[in-house]
Amino acid sequence: MSLLASWLASSPPDAAVEIAPERVSAATMSGRGTSLNVQSHATEALPAGAVVASLGAHNIHDRAAVTAAVRSVLSRLSGRISRVALIIPDVSLKVSLIRFDQVPAQRDDLDQLVRWQVRKSAPFPIEDACVSYTRGAALTNGGAEFVVAVARRDIVEEYEQVCTASGVYAGLVDSATFSALNYVIASANAPNGDWLAVHMRPGYTSIAIVRGEDLIFFRNRPEDDEESLTDLVHQTAMYYQDRLAGQGFSRVLLGGSGHLPDTVDMARQGLEERLGGKVDPLGPSDVLTPLTGMLLRTRRETVGA
């Protein structure tokens, strides 16, 4: 869904690592083709305040604690780990969907056009940003929509530097929800048509609508938003019907975690009552879904994997 750094090797990473405000987790994968499986995984809790996810301020507040946690989870994985794919919180970046009626043929021209377009909405100087984009849905007039991720360069570097201090190189960076969506897209029972995904985390909830494999709607809801999740999802469904030519969701998926153990279960019940249908799990677990999605994605994109 989004690249904040380019993966330039011809083989997939050794592991995926997620740094979240509440924990660090990591996983490795074995096998090839349709026989891929999680080989090992580990999780380490972080002290409160060690990571404070934010779009406009420093995220890593206790580098020593986060570095120690990364080293701990990596030491418990199977095999030698030197290269990792890194997952960071959704709220550490800004996601936009932009449309171009005409797409420049040259990559440099497209880069400049994307940066000029997102400059207007970026909450910090575009010169200080990592800007990455992925081609999305095709438009009927021959144009295309692009999914654009913007993050402050120094914030991305904070996460990367923790990995470097732990003895590994982070060559690819993506967000938690995009990694979870990639798990769904890569799974054997990937939804057909349009589908809705709700990914909950203790500090935020992200809502995505995907058409096949193309993201057509994305919204992040901070924890302190006074509007209820069920109301927000209902509004999203109405917008989908009115503005995105929606014909109905083939599946509705929910996953993640909250501050309380029953947060996701309560959200599932509310969504099923409000939407009038079944809500399925987004993936195997809060910890493994983004990690597995990242690992599956790298194998799809890597030559010869």
**Beta strands across the sheet bearing 169-175:** 37-45, 23-30, 15-19, 83-88, 169-175
All residues at 6 or more sequence positions from 261 whose CB lies less than 8 Å from its CB, including other chains: none
pLDDT in the model for residue 134:
93
3-state DSSP helix/strand/coil % of the chain, to nearest 5: 30, 30, 35
pLDDT in the model for residue 168:
98
Q: Which helix (DSSP H) or strand (DSSP E) does residue 222 occupy?
A: strand 214-222
Indicate where the chain has its CATH 3.30.420.40 domain(s). Answer: 191-281
pLDDT for residue 20 is more than 80: yes
pLDDT in the model for residue 7:
38
pLDDT for residue 33 is more than 80: no
Query: Which CATH architecture group holds 1-187+284-305?
Result: 2-Layer Sandwich (3.30)
- Report the range of poorest mean pLDDT among 33-42, 94-103, 206-215: 33-42
Q: For 240-260, what is each residue's pLDDT tens digit? A: 999 999 999 999 999 999 989
pLDDT in the model for residue 34:
63
pLDDT for residue 211 is more than 60: yes
More confident: 228 or 254: 254
Class of domain 191-281: alpha beta
pLDDT for residue 66 is more than 80: yes
Indicate where the chain has its CATH 3.30.420.380 domain(s). Answer: 1-187+284-305
Going by the DSSP 8-state scheme, the letter that residue 90 receives in this structure is G
174/89 Cα distance (integer angstroms): 9
pLDDT in the model for residue 122:
92
pLDDT in the model for residue 304:
45
Q: Are 164 and 107 in contact (CB under 8 A)?
A: no
